[in-house]
Amino acid sequence: MRPVLVWASVAVGVAVVVALVLAEFAARRRSRGVPGYPIARQLFSGLLPAVFAGYILLVALVALPVLHPAGPVPLARFVGSVLFSAVAAMALLETVKRLLPLRGAYNRRQVAVWLRERYPEQGAVCMGQLIRAMDLDEPIRRQLESTDPQLDLIVGRAWERVGFLGPGLGGVFNLPAEQFSAQVAAAAERAVRDPARYQELLLALCVGMPRDALAGLHRDIEPDDVRRREAVADVEYRIATAIDQLQIRLAGRWRHYLQATAWWLTGLVALLLALIDRTPAVHSATLVVVALLLGGFFAWLARDVSAVVERLRR
């Protein structure tokens, strides 16, 4: 039993290290504007949760029959253990979310990647212009001359950092997808009013629009001019569509990451419960299997109930 678990633990550790190295390599390539397959998202939303769940299942099937004698267990206790594992997993996940700026790091990274996908050549500049349009660059602006022509690029690269370092982990970037998208929409409206200052950002939001088409937004054209009205309507439509896509992306992927984490975390809680509670062997392994199969659903259901209660309190 011990060699199998040792080798399985080593394999999980190697998988985690390889995933982190590949994700960092992909992030560096993307920061240089090199297009590529979104491997980081596949690693953290698919491969690693499957590896963790497989390891938990292996420990349950190999270790628990040796540690505990077989015996019957009441159905009510079994169902209660599965539900407890699901609720405990989601409570642990929610606690970590509140203590660490996970959403802020996620939103900041997703926005940076999204802008680079829409405008690969000037992704960092677009990120910098978005940050400045949202008036979030004060710490960096105090260190640099505001007239520096490279300021947008410097600000964008500072805000493109991966992980829990750099600016933007709290405040606006830590908001839910709907509220954060509203802040981006407000910044986009500011960019429309000053197209010369935020030209690269507008080109990223309005993919496919030629640079010359932004000339119709300038203030030197009469407000009632047909050309200006048509240009503004076209840009506003493109921006609204882009921000809707950003909101769907942020909310959908964030939900998927949480569901994948709740899936294997429920199995882990069930395994720990089986080890601590000295549940009979057959039912211990069965508990972990059922928790992996159904616990993720109950964990997410508990999260939905918690979200409804939180909204009612407001």
Give the integer Cα–Cα distance in Å for 44 and 19.
Answer: 8
Contact between 82 and 263 under an 8 Å Cβ cutoff? The reply is no
The residue ranges of every structural domain in the chain are 1-314
pLDDT-above-90 percentage for the chain: 9
d(CA 85, CA 47): 22
166: Cβ–Cβ under 8 A, 6 or more apart, which residues?
Answer: 108, 158, 159
75: tokens are 């159905």
The predicted model gives 242-249 an average pLDDT of 94
Of the pLDDT bands very low, low, confident and very high (cuts 50, 70, 90), residue 308 is confident
- Please give the pLDDT value at position 292: 84
pLDDT of the residue at 213: 73
pLDDT band at 311 (very low <50, low <70, confident <90, very high): low
CB 198 within 8 A of CB 133: yes
Q: Which of 65-79, 131-145, 267-281 has the highest mean pLDDT?
A: 267-281
Q: What is the mean pLDDT of residues 57-82?
A: 73
Q: What is the DSSP string of 5-16?
A: HHHHHHHHHHHH
DSSP state for residue 162 in the 8-state scheme: -
Is the pLDDT at 28 greater than 60, yes or no? Answer: no
Contact between 129 and 191 (Cβ < 8 Å): yes
Is pLDDT above 80 for 236? yes
Question: What is residue 314's predicted lDDT score, i.e. its pLDDT?
Answer: 57
Residue 216, pLDDT > 70, answer no
Look at residue 36 in the predicted model and tell me its pLDDT.
52
- In angstroms, what CA-CA distances link 286 with 34, 57, 76, 84, 217? 47, 10, 14, 15, 65
pTM given for the model? 0.78
Residues 6+ apart with CB under 8 A from 82: 270, 287, 290, 291, 294, 295, 298
Mean pLDDT, residues 160-170 taken together: 64
In this prediction, residue 182 carries a pLDDT of 93
Which residue in the block uniquely carries the two structure tokens 């009632």? 224
- Looking at residue 130, its pLDDT comes to 92
Average pLDDT, the chain: 76
Q: What is the pLDDT of residues 77-133, one digit of tens each?
A: 788 888 888 888 888 888 888 888 888 888 988 898 899 888 888 888 899 899 888
Residue 207 is classified by DSSP as T
Identify the band that residue 143 occupies on the pLDDT scale cut at 50, 70 and 90.
low
